[in-house]
Each structure stands twice: as structure tokens, then as C-alpha cells.
Structure 1
């Protein structure tokens, strides 16, 4: 390899390392900011909820080690409470406990992606079909989520675009009006969010779906349920295929 190419490769590696360090600093800063709130309500469920939100926001990435000692110091939450929160998230397939190594954010597998999209088709398509009877506030959440993603894209905040996309699809499922559907879809989308990190470029992945989110919203608000469901199914097929291709391109290192 030419010396110039080697130098460029090293520079790119350093830039990637620096970007990952900044991401890690962001999620730690968010936890520190929530410390006072946690002190008032130091329950495992709240800690687990906080970590889920960090995953949705793209701040906790697959392979990230969650240090019990560090979180204990940052939050003043007892170690037993932290362990219970970790246990909850392991059961939800968001974290994994490795013997003698600790707790890590889980790598979602290609098989997981296929199953997650299977669940999404069931829940989100039912949301589209329920749109004609959905209350105005549920429909308004679609527009709010799309607008949030568009604003984040204008400012080049692509991780936030990914989070807004999750909120948009939560809103689609929310048209059903079922707390149980909301909970199932929230957990499904949180787990799926981890797979987004397989994409080389967050912008290239998310940008086309901003336009499709806008189109889907217009179809739903316009009352064209059949066209909206067709668009949603095509959308989910395309996104699933794109993610699976990213796994194939990454090779066997991302199989587990």
C-alpha cells in the first residue's frame, strides 16, 4: 500500500476513534445530568428506562461496556439496583452479560433484524389501518416526529434523525390506541435501533426515509389507508434489506 494511502487510512482511523470518544462522553454527560432525578427515584425500572433512552438516542452503541462502578458513582444508585436494571435489559435483549467481563450493549444479529421487521409489519400496519378512527392527538404525533427529524437533518444531527425516526414509527403504531401495542413496539424499535450502527453512514441511511416518513404521514392524514399501507410495507422491506446488506458487507465479525 502506498505511504500516502497508509497515512490517509491512519487519519481516518483517528477521526473515527475521536468521534466514538465524543459519543461516549455524551451519554455519560446525560447520565450525570439525570443524577438528581435518579436520587429522588432510584428504582431499577427508572435506571433501565434511562438506559433505553440512551440507546434510542444513539448514545449507547453495540459493544459498549457498562461499568457498574462508574454508573454507581455517577448516579448514587445502589449496586443492587443497577444489577436489577441490567437484568431487565438483558431480558429485553438490549444488554448482554459476559462472565468475568461485565455487561455490554448487545450486538443485534441479522436473524434478530429479520424477526424485528416481522413484528414491525404486524404492529405498524395495524396502526395505519386504525388511522381513520385515531384521535387527533395521535395523528398530531406523526407530524411532530417527522418535523423533528427534518429539523435535525437540516442541522446535520444524523443520530438525532435516527431517534426521531424511532419516534415516528412509535407514533404509527400508536394509532391503534393500545398501551400493549405501544409497549411491544417501543421494545421492538429500541432493540432495532442498535442495528442502525451497522450502517457506515448514518446520513445515507436515514436521509431517504425522511422523505418517506413525510409521504407516509401525508397519506395517513389524507385518509388514503390502502396507499399508506402499501407504502409502509415497501418502506419496511427496503429498510430491512438495507440493514441485512450492511451485515453481509461487514462479514462474519458481526454475526453474533
Structure 2
């Protein structure tokens, strides 16, 4: 008699997004779109009432956002939208530079691996001039993220992803909406073309300059605000 077939255990049911996650999404968007400015207090009573959730649920959502680096939790004072210091910005860009220059070196001349970056640049170039500034910002960051992802290292990609929301705060400082978006898109296209050419030295120099300028613009804006 043939052995009976062993059935795999049933899959767990898929649940809807939790109230904690939904609240975190709303607050994250408000912060990263600039509606909740750096240093703004995140008052539990007001926010829990507006979001229609308990204060406990709100606290968990704020704790999650603190882990992402965009909210500060201060004992006996409450939660605040994170205000970056000049050293915070430099530290973010220090890690960003390490990861992105590694990507430039590793992908130089590899047209196949750079195909997603070419698509990302196409979306950046095609972004309408009247699009919301967050659309241009995300298209910009997507290009840089695809370079890092092109290395094929899940660990490096996770490290870069953990930095993205802090980089978005840096770009808020930089007054990203006032940038010449067409010139910015053209500059990214030029960077891609140099990486595609296989000229590692030129690609590293161009990316280094790009990141240094972006870092200093954020710091300059921070000092004048």
C-alpha cells in the first residue's frame, strides 16, 4: 500500500494593514513631504484624535518612526519631528558615499547590470516640470538606489534602504523643490553615461562631486534656517 501523502500545513490568513502601520504611513508622508516641519511636536492627544486611533497605537507608530530616524522620542517631553544637525547630515552622506561609490566601481561598464539605472534616469528625465516635488525627489533617489541594488548584495541594499528616510530629510533641508529639475535630470543622465562607459576614475569623481555638493547644500540650508 503506497504511503499516504503528507500535506503541508495551511498558510496563515493574510490580514489587513494594522492601525499602527496605517498611522505610521500617514505621519511618515506628512513629515517627508514637509507638512510637519523639523522640530514640530507630535502631540499624542491631538494626533490620536485626528487619526481615530488609541494613544497606545500612536505611541507604537511613533516608536517605529523613531527607528527609521525621522522622529525623536524625548523622555518627559514627548515626540518631535527629527531636526538634523550638520553632523547628522555629514554622517548620512558619509555612509551614502561609501555605498554609492562601491556601486559605481562594481557596475562600471556593465551595461546589463545598469539597465535598471537607465530606466530610473528615464523616469527622472520624463518627470513633468509641474509634478509635485516629492515625485522628482523619489525619481532622483530611485536612480541612486538602483545603482546600489545593482551590486546584487541584499545586505548592502538593506543598509542603503535604512538610510533613505534620513536622506529624504536632508533633501527637505536642501530645498529640493527650488532645484532646476531638468538640469538635475541631465546631470544624472551624464553620471550614468560615464558609469556605462567603463571609465571608473571619471565615474567615481563625478559621483563624489555630486554627493559632496548635495551634502553641502543641505548643511548650508540648515545653517540659514
CA radius of gyration, larger in: 2
The superposition leaves residues 74-104 of structure 1 with CA deviations (integer Å, 9 ceiling, x where unpaired) of: 7676654442332132133210124555422
Kindly tell me the number of residue pairs found equivalent between the two proteins. 211
Per-residue deviation, 1:115: 0.7
Q: CA RMSD in A?
A: 3.2
TM-score between both structures, scaled by the size of structure 1: 0.67
Change (3 A) 1:95 1:203: same
Tell me: higher relative CO, structure 1 or 2? Use CA pairs within 8 A at least 6 residues apart. Answer: 2
1:194 aligns with 2:161: no
Deviates more, 1:195-204 or 1:212-221: 195-204
Instruction: State how 1:135-150 maps to structure 2 within 5 Å.
Output: 136=112, 139-150=114-125
Task: Give the helix-richer structure, 1 or 2.
Answer: 1
Given that 2:109 and 2:195 are in contact with CA atoms closer than 8 Å, whether structure 1 keeps it comes out as no
Given that 2:108 and 2:199 are in contact with CA atoms closer than 8 Å, whether structure 1 keeps it comes out as no
Of 49, 73, 88, the match for 1:97: 73
Q: Which residue of 1 aligns with 2:8?
A: none
Per-residue deviation, 1:151: 3.0
1:203 aligns with 2:202: no
Separation (CA, whole Å) in 1 of partners of 2:186 and 2:167: 20
Structure 2, unaligned stretches of length 5 or more? 1-14
Per-residue deviation, 1:172: 1.8
Change (3 A) 1:174 1:221: same
Per-residue deviation, 1:216: 1.2
Q: Which residue of 1 aligns with 2:91?
A: 115
Per-residue deviation, 1:114: 0.7
- The SS at the match of 1:40 is coil
Given that 1:64 and 1:104 are in contact with CA atoms closer than 8 Å, whether structure 2 keeps it comes out as yes
Separation (CA, whole Å) in 1 of partners of 2:18 and 2:53: 6
- The SS at the match of 1:104 is strand
The superposition leaves residues 130-158 of structure 1 with CA deviations (integer Å, 9 ceiling, x where unpaired) of: 2158684x523312322333333423433
Instruction: State how 1:1-256 maps to structure 2 within 5 Å.
Output: 40-42=16-18, 44=20, 48=24, 52=28, 61-66=37-42, 68=44, 79-99=55-75, 102-132=78-108, 136=112, 139-200=114-175, 202-204=177-179, 208-250=183-225
